[in-house]
């Protein structure tokens, strides 16, 4: 069992670990510094500090009612999970303040969209960031995400030898393995976060897997009974705006009508 | 009490006046879409009210749907065509489980819950190859009217394979087929089959019957048969398929007028 609920054979973990060992040796050689377990453990601890902050932020932002944080700002915050290394201290400071602000808003029941907005779970990052604003314009809020790097949000095990822990995390990457495994992770998260609908976005010509939308959408419909839509979002989405708006509005209508029924 | 449903589609505007007490259509009309969507809607509604002997003050609520719904200034509210088609079809066919709607610019697939609500839906992406526009292009290229495409398709012996994913390329492909002597009837049948295949791909799984076909393209003979053949299940054309969205909008207007 891997972090995030994924699974992989022990032989696969061993193979990845041996490749990471080669990488460790190469890095130590290039840097002219030792890269022992102690250094790796310290690095893992620092990465986990960022992950813990993001975990807190996501939990409050995605569960508080009304929604205390806009979808676009949450996307940018989550992106720090894979871009914090260039300035760890600044990333920690930004995330800490953001988390505290979101906690304050949640305590005061302040929202960026009206209470009762349709709770949508978003899969894959968008090429045109404005679409995250459109989600809210259409009467919805984010209640969870899977931006293809959920393995960078999960805590790296600190009770394992560091190379074993890193090998497991590498294999918990949703881009490794079949879309069906990824769908199960999405279903578990969407269920836990109370999602009422799923949006699977795609970037034309740049999606991870051409068939993932169908696989994830069907699994979500079958196991959760939730409506799931696919959106193709190009880098400049202006020509697609009316159809994107229609789909998101229709999803919101479907969710709200389902509540009445 | 009278309410109105307006479906501002990409190719046509449809308006329905409905008696909210009986949920019967009092009057309906269609006109081609144009540049000034709002003015066309106003003119069409004015004419319709005159024909039906209804004054504007008698129309209690107006719901707009369709591609140009947000440009219709006389509407009280807007609802997407997904919801309106679901409501409109279930009103006419209460046991409908799957709806295929093909309009001028897009195609939609709706799966319904047993209670009539939308379970989930899919729409085609930017490409017009699975829409009515494809048939218009073909009809123009072959020099026949849209209403004759079905009769022509019935004469097909071997539907021509149309592999292009884009209407522009498909038109080029059709020119090539004509030049190589393929019969127009086989081309039309091939195009209908191609559209049906795209809808089937959107379906992604078995179509739960009853499958109801609606939208303007449902009026073109041969399309329902092409869909049925590709999906492997009977496909019924909705009553007044072009008006389904407007009827759904009018029904929602009646419902809203009771609660607002």
Any long-range contacts for A163-167 (C-beta under 8 Å, 24+ apart)? Answer: A163/A17, A163/A20, A163/A21, A163/A24, A163/A37, A163/A40, A164/A13, A164/A17, A165/A44, A166/A17, A166/A20, A166/A40, A166/A44, A167/A13, A167/A14, A167/A16, A167/A17, A167/A20
The pLDDT value given to residue A67: 97
Judge: A254–B121 Cβ closer than 8 Å, yes or no.
yes
Give the C-alpha separation, B26 to B15, whole Å: 11
Task: Give the mean model confidence (pLDDT) for residues B195-222.
Answer: 88
3-state secondary structure B117-183: CEEEEEECCCCCCCCHHHHHHHHHHHCCCHHHHHHHHHCCCCCCCCCCCCHHHHHHHHHHHHHCCCC
Please tell me whether the interface predicted TM-score (ipTM) of this complex is above 0.90.
no
The pLDDT value given to residue A146: 95
**In angstroms, how far is CA A208 from the centroid of its own chain?**
15
Task: Confirm or reject contact between B125 and chain A (CB < 8 A).
Answer: yes
| Contacts with B82 from chain A: Cβ below 8 Å | 246, 250, 253-254
Closest Cα partner for B248 from B77, B72, B75, B82? B82
Give the C-alpha separation, A135 to A70, whole Å: 10
| Contacts with B115 from chain A: Cβ below 8 Å | 261
Domain B95-238 is in which class?
Answer: alpha beta
Give the C-alpha separation, A232 to B123, whole Å: 11
Give the C-alpha separation, A149 to A154, whole Å: 9
Supply the CATH number for residue A120's domain. 3.40.50.11900
A151 part of a folded domain: yes
Q: Please say whether the beta carbons of B121 and A255 come within 8 A.
A: no
pTM, entire model: 0.90
Question: What total of structural domains would you count in chain A?
Answer: 1
Question: Where, residue-wise, is CATH 3.30.420.40 in chain B?
Answer: 2-87+242-259, 95-238
Q: Which CATH number fits domain B2-87+242-259: 3.40.640.10, 3.90.1640.30, 3.30.420.40, 3.40.50.720?
A: 3.30.420.40
Who among B83, B122, B123 is closest to A243 (CB)?
B123
As averages over each run of 10 residues, the pLDDT of chain A (261 residues) reads: 88 96 95 94 95 96 97 95 89 96 97 96 95 97 94 94 96 88 94 97 79 90 94 89 94 93 67
Contacts of B148 (CB under 8 A, 6+ apart): B139
């Amino acid at each position: 069992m891997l972090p995030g609920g994924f699974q992989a054979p022990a032989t696969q973990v061993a193979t990845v670990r041996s490749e990471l060992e080669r990488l460790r040796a190469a890095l130590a050689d290039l840097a002219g510094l030792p890269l022992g377990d102690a250094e790796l453990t310290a690095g893992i601890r620092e990465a986990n500090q960022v992950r813990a902050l993001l975990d807190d932020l996501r939990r409050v932002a995605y569960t508080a009612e009304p929604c205390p944080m806009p979808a676009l700002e949450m996307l940018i915050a989550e992106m720090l999970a894979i871009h914090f290394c260039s300035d760890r201290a600044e990333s920690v400071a930004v995330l800490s303040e953001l988390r505290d602000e979101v906690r304050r808003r949640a305590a005061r029941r302040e929202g960026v969209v009206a209470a009762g907005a349709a709770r949508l779970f978003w899969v894959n990052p968008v090429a045109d960031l404005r679409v995250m604003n459109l989600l809210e314009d259409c009467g919805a809020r984010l209640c969870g995400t899977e931006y293809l790097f959920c393995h960078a949000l999960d805590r790296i095990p600190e009770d394992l030898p560091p190379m074993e822990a890193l090998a497991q995390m590498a294999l918990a990457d949703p881009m490794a393995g079949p879309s069906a495994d990824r769908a199960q992770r999405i279903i578990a998260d969407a269920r836990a976060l109370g999602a009422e609908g799923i949006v699977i976005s795609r970037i034309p010509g740049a999606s991870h897997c051409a068939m993932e939308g169908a696989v994830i959408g069907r699994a979500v419909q079958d196991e959760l009974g939730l409506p799931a839509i696919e959106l193709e979002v190009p880098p400049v989405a202006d020509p697609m705006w009316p159809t994107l708006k229609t789909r998101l509005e229709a999803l919101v209508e479907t969710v709200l009508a389902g509540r009445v029924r | 009490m009278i309410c109105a449903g307006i479906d501002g589609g990409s190719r046509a505007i449809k308006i329905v006046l409905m008696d909210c007490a009986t949920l019967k259509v009092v009057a309906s009309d269609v006109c081609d879409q144009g540049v000034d969507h709002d003015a066309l809607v106003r003119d069409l509604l004015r004419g319709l009210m005159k024909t039906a002997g209804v004054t504007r003050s008698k129309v209690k609520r107006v719901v707009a749907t369709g591609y140009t719904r947000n440009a219709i200034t006389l509407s009280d509210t807007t609802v997407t065509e997904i919801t309106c088609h679901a409501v409109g079809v279930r009103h006419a066919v209460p046991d409908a489980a799957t709806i295929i709607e093909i309009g001028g610019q897009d195609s939609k697939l709706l799966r319904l819950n047993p209670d009539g609500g939308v379970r989930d839906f899919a729409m085609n992406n930017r490409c017009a190859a699975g829409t009515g526009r494809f048939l218009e292009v073909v009809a123009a290229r072959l020099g026949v009217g849209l209403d004759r495409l079905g009769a022509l398709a019935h004469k097909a012996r071997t539907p021509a394979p149309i592999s292009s994913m884009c209407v522009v390329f498909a038109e080029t492909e059709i020119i090539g087929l004509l030049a190589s002597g393929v019969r127009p009837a086989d081309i039309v049948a091939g195009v209908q089959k191609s559209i049906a295949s795209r809808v089937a791909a959107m379906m992604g799984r078995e179509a739960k019957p009853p499958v109801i076909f609606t939208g303007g393209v449902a009026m073109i003979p041969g399309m329902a048969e092409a869909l049925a053949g590709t999906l492997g299940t009977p496909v019924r054309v909705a009553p007044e398929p072009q008006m389904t969205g407007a009827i759904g909008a009018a029904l929602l207007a009646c419902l809203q007028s009771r609660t607002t």
